């Protein structure tokens, strides 16, 4: 391979690992021909899996460690486990420029802390933000912060606007970022002092990377009229969990309704293609891969409970951030 993208992978994090991690690598490697995987974890568990999923020997290397961060660990406990865990070694390879990005499905707090201990912040950014993709009627939205920062300043939200817009451009080159602040109303006087100050600053200044569209309420996030939605981590995390819960409720109730009666079963057969499209639109695996923005290297968090398809999608997001030069786009637009 000529100048492949190198992704460092914590193979031991998340539910059903390393099986789903290795299967996810296999799925991604079949679609992405110029990617190399640095896998960190227990080789005694990983070696049989790379054979099982037919991953070519020239596509990966395994760095062995039998130490791992546990799901129940606090961030501090995870850091104290030492520098021999699969998560720490994967992040360290990114720090040492031996990889272009890292992906982990493991402990979120541990990933954030170990990344912040090893990697530098981009100059002029005070706080990192957790960002993810949400579907909308007109395409995809970038939403941030989703829980990295409970309290934020106006400067933080402006930084998030720039970073979120850079992420959208990195993932979708032809997209035009339109930014809105998540608020309790769309009127200019609604909200707390911090968000009103941010509104004023974004309205008064022109940004080459994005257009500011004002406030957006939670029930309009998926309308698609804006595509970068900015909030503090407390508000953003509640919005995320509410959307995930609502999506799961709708899918499960629809399944129950279509399988509980003969008429429902016949209806599901007659509308199979439409129902499949509907399910895919709400399937969280297809949007898996949250990005910790603000660090000088790409750090991708896969959902811990996702399956191999979801993990493969997080690798796809990772690859796009590298090819789209995400970090350079942020650096070029942060003042």
For the question of whether the overall pTM of this predicted structure is more than 0.75, the answer is: yes
pLDDT of residue 187: 77
pLDDT of residue 279: 61
pLDDT of residue 258: 66
pLDDT of residue 305: 87
Q: Which residues, other chains included, contact 192 with Cβ-Cβ below 8 Å and sequence gap of 6+?
A: none
Q: Whole-angstrom Cα distance, residue 212 to residue 205?
A: 9
Element holding 291 (H helix, E strand): strand 290-293
69 — alpha (psi -120 to 50), left (phi > 0) or beta? beta
Coil, strand or helix: which one is 180? strand
pLDDT digits (tens, 9 = 90+) for 179-197: 999 998 877 778 788 999 9
Average pLDDT estimate for 281-288: 72
Coil, strand or helix: which one is 62? strand
**What tokens appear for 69 in the block?**
């961060």
Question: CATH topology for 1-125+294-335?
Answer: Isopropylmalate Dehydrogenase (3.40.718)
pLDDT of residue 154: 94
pLDDT of residue 274: 60
Average pLDDT estimate for 103-107: 92
CATH superfamily to which 127-285 belongs: Isopropylmalate Dehydrogenase (3.40.718.10)
Q: Rounded mean pLDDT of the chain?
A: 88
pLDDT of residue 273: 65
Q: Of all residues in the chain, what percent carry a pLDDT higher than 90?
A: 61
pLDDT of residue 241: 82
- Give the pLDDT band of residue 105 (cuts 50, 70, 90): very high
pLDDT digits (tens, 9 = 90+) for 148-188: 888 899 999 999 999 999 999 999 988 999 999 999 887 77
pLDDT digits (tens, 9 = 90+) for 240-281: 888 778 777 877 777 776 677 776 566 666 565 665 665 666
pLDDT of residue 270: 58
* Angstrom distances, CA of residue 64 to CA of 17, 94, 282: 15, 17, 37
Sheet with 5-10, strands from edge to edge, namely 60-64, 35-41, 5-10, 101-104, 299-301, 290-293, 129-136, 139-144, 228-230, 178-182, 211-216
Q: Whole-angstrom Cα distance, residue 139 to residue 168?
A: 11
* Angstrom distances, CA of residue 114 to CA of 79, 194, 290, 322: 6, 30, 16, 21
Average pLDDT estimate for 14-23: 94
> Nearest 5°: CA angle at 247, between 243 and 253?
145
The residue with greater pLDDT, 56 or 240, is 56
Please count the other Cβ atoms lying within 10 Å of the Cβ belonging to residue 254. 16
* Segments of the chain assigned to CATH 3.40.718.10: 1-125+294-335, 127-285
With a cut of 90, say whether residue 63 has pLDDT above it.
yes
Burial class (CB in 10 A: 0-12, 13-18, 19+), 263: exposed
Residue matched to tokens 């970022």: 177
């Amino acid at each position: 391979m000529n100048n492949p993208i190198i992704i460092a992978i914590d193979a031991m994090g998340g539910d059903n690992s390393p099986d789903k991690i290795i299967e996810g690598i296999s799925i991604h490697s079949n679609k992405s021909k110029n990617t190399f995987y640095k896998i960190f974890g227990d080789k005694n568990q990983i070696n049989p899996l790379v054979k099982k999923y037919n991953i070519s020997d020239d596509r990966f290397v395994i760095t062995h460690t039998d130490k791992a961060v546990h799901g129940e660990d606090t961030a501090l406990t995870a850091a104290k486990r030492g520098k021999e865990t699969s998560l720490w070694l994967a992040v360290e390879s990114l720090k040492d420029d031996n990889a272009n990005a890292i992906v982990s499905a493991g402990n979120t707090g541990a990933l954030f802390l170990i990344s912040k201990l090893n990697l530098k912040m981009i100059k002029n950014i005070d706080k990192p933000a957790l960002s993810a993709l949400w579907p909308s009627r007109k395409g995809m939205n970038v939403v941030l912060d989703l829980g990295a920062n409970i309290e934020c300043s106006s400067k933080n939200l402006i930084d998030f606007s720039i970073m979120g817009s850079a992420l959208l451009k990195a993932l979708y080159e032809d997209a035009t970022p339109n930014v809105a602040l998540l608020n309790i109303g769309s009127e200019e006087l609604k909200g707390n002092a911090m968000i009103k100050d941010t509104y004023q600053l974004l309205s008064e200044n022109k940004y080459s990377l994005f257009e500011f569209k004002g406030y957006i309420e939670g029930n309009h996030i998926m309308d698609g009229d804006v595509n970068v939605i900015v909030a503090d981590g407390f508000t953003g995390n509640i919005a995320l969990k509410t959307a995930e819960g609502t999506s799961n409720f709708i899918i499960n109730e629809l399944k129950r309704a279509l399988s509980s009666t003969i008429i429902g079963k016949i209806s599901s057969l007659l509308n199979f293609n439409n129902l499949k499209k509907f399910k895919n639109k709400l399937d969280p695996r297809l949007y898996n891969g949250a990005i910790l923005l603000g660090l000088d290297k790409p750090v991708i968090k896969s959902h811990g409970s996702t399956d191999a398809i979801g993990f493969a999608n997080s690798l796809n997001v990772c690859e796009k951030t590298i090819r789209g030069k995400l970090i350079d786009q942020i650096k070029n637009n942060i003042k």
